[in-house]
Amino acid sequence: MRITQTQIMVLSDPQPDPEDAGVSDLAVLTITTDEGITGLSEIFSVPPGVAKAVLDGPDSFFGRLLVGQDPVPPERLWKRLYESMTHGARRGWALICLGAVDVALWDIYGKLLQRPVYELLGGRAFAEAQIITGARDEVIPYCTIISHEWDHKSVLTQQLARVTALRDLGYRAFKIEPMNCAVETIVELARLARQEIGPERLLAVDVGYLWNDVGTALSVADRLAELDIFFLETPFPTDALPAYASLSAKTRVRIAAGEHTVTRWEFLDLMDRGGVNVVQPYMTTVGGLTEAKRLLDLARPRGALVCPGNWSTGILSAATVHFAAISPCTPCFEFVAAEVYGSPLRKALRELGEPVVDGAIALPTRPGIGLELPADLINHYRVG
């Protein structure tokens, strides 16, 4: 089997609204082979023009290294692409594009063997030790909750309304997002959300890189600990690793970070220098499923949890489910519950993925990552 084409298309909601989880200019990669098998991935947070320069066609930065190659096994081409970046682009957007290539290659590999990708990544046996929120034959999405508006009253009413709606649909895990909010708003929202979902369901809090001093973060974390908060996400700017280390040494609440972190090496810094004990790789951004699996081998002996970030569409979710299925330290992964957001593209992509039943996703059975884009969806949402 040989790769014959690498192609980028761009999907968008007709009127994307970021406050309503609208999807704007999402680059989507397809890798085609001479046996008619096609691999799929999205490329979260890379501008489409960059994704095209890196991957669209045989003359693109990576396209020239992929076309004509055997796509199997994915690790071989991961190494080929990564080493090609040594002299100029080892991180950033190029690395995220490499991650998308890797997901698409695993998709091809799974379709070739007619098996779901998680079986090829190691299978479920690897994960048997870690069951916090679910059962052995399922993985657990946590719903990230945002507001339309961000003043005190709107944050409380809009986010609680979404928490309640999703609780009623059976979801078991939630993350509220009091971004740029005062301390009292953060604690009040957490208190009310805990009241809504009861003691059993998982609740996390993301404050979006809010503080610069450890004292404030520590006093809020202590108050959140009383509400049994599963983790507190990104209290400090990304590079403030000493602040992360200081906080995590003093608080009972797990500290989470890493939604934009690339490669296992940056995660090693987060864990060892930053004391972060919940790391949040995106399956594309980190460098693909191949790199995410390597990260597991570093996180596990450190006692860290790997709870993937996934604030994107059902295409990324499809890949994330396979990682969650093999991980021994992934009690939950991020999920955009399209039911409570307005984005029609997000809803359409969600419907293509594995269903959520009683707050859980069963182990996937379809070959590859298990998601195909129908032509009518592409025709409707394609903008480039």
Q: Show contacts with Mg ion in window 205-224 (CB under 5 A).
A: 206
**Total site size for Mg ion, rule CB under 5 A:** 1
Indicate the residue whose CB is closest to Mg ion.
Answer: 206
Which CB atom, from 32 or from 320, has the smaller least distance to Mg ion?
A: 320
**What letter does residue 300 receive in the DSSP assignment?**
G
Taking the complex as a whole, how short is the minimal distance between the CB of residue 260 and Mg ion, in angstroms?
9
Q: Are 2 and 68 spatial neighbours (Cβ–Cβ below 8 Å)?
A: yes
Taking the complex as a whole, how short is the minimal distance between the CB of residue 13 and Mg ion, in angstroms?
21
Q: Are 206 and 236 spatial neighbours (Cβ–Cβ below 8 Å)?
A: no
Taking the complex as a whole, how short is the minimal distance between the CB of residue 60 and Mg ion, in angstroms?
31
Buried b (16+ CB within 10 A) or exposed e, 215-238: eebbebbebbeebebbbbbbbbeb
Closest CA to 305 of 262, 260, 256: 256
Q: Show contacts with Mg ion in window 148-207 (CB under 5 A).
A: 206
Taking the complex as a whole, how short is the minimal distance between the CB of residue 11 and Mg ion, in angstroms?
22
Which CB atom, from 138 or from 206, has the smaller least distance to Mg ion?
A: 206
Q: Show contacts with Mg ion in window 101-130 (CB under 5 A).
A: none
Q: Are 247 and 213 spatial neighbours (Cβ–Cβ below 8 Å)?
A: no
Q: Show contacts with Mg ion in window 305-324 (CB under 5 A).
A: none
**What letter does residue 51 receive in the DSSP assignment?**
H
Taking the complex as a whole, how short is the minimal distance between the CB of residue 185 and Mg ion, in angstroms?
17
Q: How far is CA 253 from CA 57, 88, 113, 228, 278, in A?
A: 47, 39, 43, 8, 10
Taking the complex as a whole, how short is the minimal distance between the CB of residue 256 and Mg ion, in angstroms?
8
Q: Does 334 help bind Mg ion (rule: CB under 5 A)?
A: no
Rounded to the nearest 5°, which phi and psi values hold at 242? -60, -35
Which CB atom, from 13 or from 206, has the smaller least distance to Mg ion?
A: 206
Which CB atom, from 204 or from 326, has the smaller least distance to Mg ion?
A: 204
Which residues are at the interface with Mg ion (CB under 5 A)? 206
